[in-house]
Amino acid sequence: MQSDQAGSGRYQLKGAIGSPYSMKMRAALRYRRIPFDWEGGMAGFVAAQSMKAKVIPVLVTPEGDAFNDSTTLIALLEARHPGGRSLVPNDPALAFLSFLIEDFADEWLAKAMYAYRWARPVDQDQMSRWLVFDAFRGQGEAVIEEQARVWRDRQVGRLALVGAGPAAQPVIEASAGRVMVALEGQVVERGCLFGSRPSAADFALYGQLSQLATDPTPQTLMRAHYPWLFRWVQTTEDLSGEPEGQWDPGLDTPVLRALLVECATHYFPMLVANAAAVEAGQPMFRWHVEGVDLEQATNRYQARCLRALRKAHADLSSGDQARLGPLLAGTGCLAFLVAGVSKGVAA
């Protein structure tokens, strides 16, 4: 899509600091040292209205073309700016793991962000005001308070639709807790998932955690139980001055194994149930995890996520598939990735 900002010579990133995907992309652009201008507040929401999928952030290229969806944006920047400070490991097996964990953070860990933000009055009250302030600052307290009430009612009312209702909340928060336990040790010992260099997966995790580190309930939790991770979130906001770092060659590390177990236990079962519901034309779907029946609205985007993950695995060389096999099989992910897939084709 063409924007009226063609010829500026810089990228324009239009988003909001209350959006995990906006923060993901802002931090990624900073680390990659790609010149850009940040436009927060209302700018992102206005820009999103002209996009096919009305989501933020919106990235406008120097030529004036506009794109959104953070995974698409990272791939776009990799194609336009190959080489130095890439977010994709040069080992195809590691690159696949980065893609999988990025997707897990974007689609599953996002449920923790949503549940923590909108399930409890203390978070509902503060964050509805803060998020609306970002968009309506300068328009007076009466306007901000009224818009905050509207936004709070809307978001709380959507908890069940996005799969973060009362039954799901303890399951989601327990899963997020295990993710934070795994990351707490990793950020101290190596700094990032795959060594001392951040990947797309690191920035996807950062995006979700940037919100948990802001909202009252999860911020208190992080400060008390995951203090190194809390500080990692703050430092990862701007890594523009950090060295590029190194990828570690190891595939089977404790942090990767812990995250893949969460993928197999929670994320893949949801994706498979959702894909079946999409195919059947059902508006809602259910899946069973940890002794609990969970439910949410059918999501066509997440059906595409499952196809993309299966295709990415199928497109690996036989050697890279063999290298990943023990880790993916041992964590329970492999069965979900190979189900109904032939080489280069996602079922």
All structural domains of the chain: 11-80 (3.40.30.10), 92-114+167-338 (no CATH), 120-157 (no CATH)
Identify the pLDDT of residue 341. Answer: 47
Identify the pLDDT of residue 342. Answer: 39
Residue 68: name the closest of 134, 131, 22 by CA: 22
Q: Are 21 and 200 in contact (CB under 8 A)?
A: no
Pairing mode of beta strands 11-14, 36-39: parallel
Pairing mode of beta strands 58-60, 292-297: unpaired
Q: Tell me the three-class secondary structure of the chain, residue by residue.
A: CECCCCCCCCEEEECCCCCHHHHHHHHHHHHHCCCEEEECCCHHHHHHCCCCCCCCCEEECCCCEEEECHHHHHHHHHHHCCCCCCCCCCCHHHHHHHHHHHHHHHHHHHHHHHHHHHCCHHHHHHHHHHHHHHHHCCCCHHHHHHHHHHHHHHHHHCCCCCCCCCCCHHHHHHHHHHHHHHHHHHHHHCCECCECCCCHHHHHHHHHHHHHCCCHHHHHHHHHHCHHHHHHHHHHCCCCCCCCCCECCCCCCHHHHHHHHHHHHHHHHHHHHHHHHHHHCCCEEEEEECCEEEEEECCHHHHHHHHHHHHHHHCCCHHHHHHHHHHHHHHCCHHHHHCCCECCECC
Residue 258: name the closest of 185, 159, 209 by CA: 185
| Cis amide linkage into residue 57, ω under 30° from 0 | yes
Pairing mode of beta strands 284-289, 11-14: unpaired
Identify the pLDDT of residue 8. Answer: 56
Q: Are 105 and 208 in contact (CB under 8 A)?
A: yes
Identify the pLDDT of residue 340. Answer: 57
pLDDT digits (tens), the chain, 347 positions: 444 444 458 999 999 999 999 999 999 999 999 999 999 988 888 999 989 988 999 999 999 999 999 999 999 999 999 988 999 999 999 999 999 999 999 999 999 999 999 999 999 999 999 999 999 999 999 999 999 999 999 999 999 999 999 999 999 999 999 999 999 999 999 999 999 999 999 999 999 999 999 999 999 999 999 999 999 999 999 999 999 999 998 899 999 999 999 999 999 999 999 999 999 999 999 999 988 999 999 999 999 999 999 999 999 999 999 999 999 999 999 999 997 543 333 33
Identify the pLDDT of residue 136. Answer: 94
Record the tokens describing residue 112, joined without a space: 């923790």
Q: Are 255 and 266 in contact (CB under 8 A)?
A: no
Residue 112: name the closest of 183, 195, 194 by CA: 183
Count the alpha carbons within 13 Å of 170 in the hemisphere toward its beta carbon: 6
Residue 262: name the closest of 137, 109, 138 by CA: 109
User: Positive or negative CA dihedral for 277, 267, 203, 246?
Assistant: negative
Residue 126: name the closest of 14, 220, 226 by CA: 220
Residue type, 210: S
Q: How far apart are CA 276 and CA 199, in angstroms?
A: 31
The strand pairing partners of 297, in sequence order, are 284
